[in-house]
Amino acid sequence: MTLDQIVKFQSIVDKRSIRSDTLEFLNKERFSQSKQSMIRYGDMHIDHFLKVYANNYKEEDVLKHIKEQIIREFCNGNN
C-alpha cells in the first residue's frame, strides 16, 4: 500500500479532506538508490518509506519529534 493510498483511505474513514501540507509532502520527491531515479513520497510503499525514514533518523530523534507533536496536538485541543 502506498502513502497516497493510505492518506486517501484515512480521508474516507475520517470523513475529512486531506490537508494541503500533507498533499505537498506526498508530491515531494527523493532519489531512489534502487531505481536510480526520483520517486514521489506518495508513490512509496509504507514499508519502504519507514525504512528510509528509519535509516535517516536516530530513534531518539524520532521519539522526541513524536513526543513534541503529541504535546502540540493536545495542548492546542486538536485531538
For residue 65, what is its C-alpha cell? 519529534
pLDDT of residue 66: 79
- What's the domain count of the chain? 1
The domain in which residue 38 lies consists of 3-75
pLDDT of residue 76: 63
Pairwise CA distance, residues 38 & 35, whole Å: 8
C-alpha neighbours within 13 Å on the C-beta side of residue 47: 1
pLDDT of residue 22: 92
Q: What is the pLDDT along the chain (79 residues), one digit of tens a residue?
A: 999 999 999 999 989 999 999 999 999 999 988 889 999 999 999 988 888 887 777 777 777 877 888 787 777 655 4
pLDDT of residue 52: 84
